[in-house]
Amino acid sequence: MAGIHNIGAKLLKVQGIKLQEKRSIFLLWKEIVGKQLLQDAADQGQLDAIFVLGMMLMAASSEKKQEAQIMLNNAYINMMRMLESETNLDKEI
């Protein structure tokens, strides 16, 4: 996540953009990065990372709480399906 700090520093140096606009752009970028990290963790089956990243998204903004809950629920369902299919493969062998 060190990249977030670099983006923030670069945004502060840009001329002609109001500070409030810079803040909005930065927060949007940070949200996109958080969602991508959550998706990557889910794809790799990292349950702890999924939980932590989902909780971070929920804490970031009460407006995004519902969206974060849906993402966590979907990640959990996909993980259970993946574990179930692996268990079934082990039984067949």
The percentage of residues in the chain with a pLDDT greater than 70, rounded to a whole number, is 51
Higher pLDDT, 73 or 7: 73
Give the whole-angstrom CA distance, residue 37 versus residue 56: 11
Kindly list the domain boundaries of the chain, sorted by start residue.
2-92
pLDDT at 90 over 60: yes
Taking a C-beta distance cutoff of 8 angstroms, is the pair 35, 57 a contact? yes
Q: What's the whole-number average pLDDT of the chain?
A: 70
Give the whole-angstrom CA distance, residue 69 versus residue 51: 10
Residues 6+ apart with CB under 8 A from 2: none
Residue 62, token pair as written in the block: 């009460």
Give the whole-angstrom CA distance, residue 33 versus residue 58: 14
**3-36 pLDDT, tens per residue?**
555 665 665 666 677 777 767 777 777 777 777 7
pLDDT at 1 over 60: no
pTM of full prediction above 0.85: no
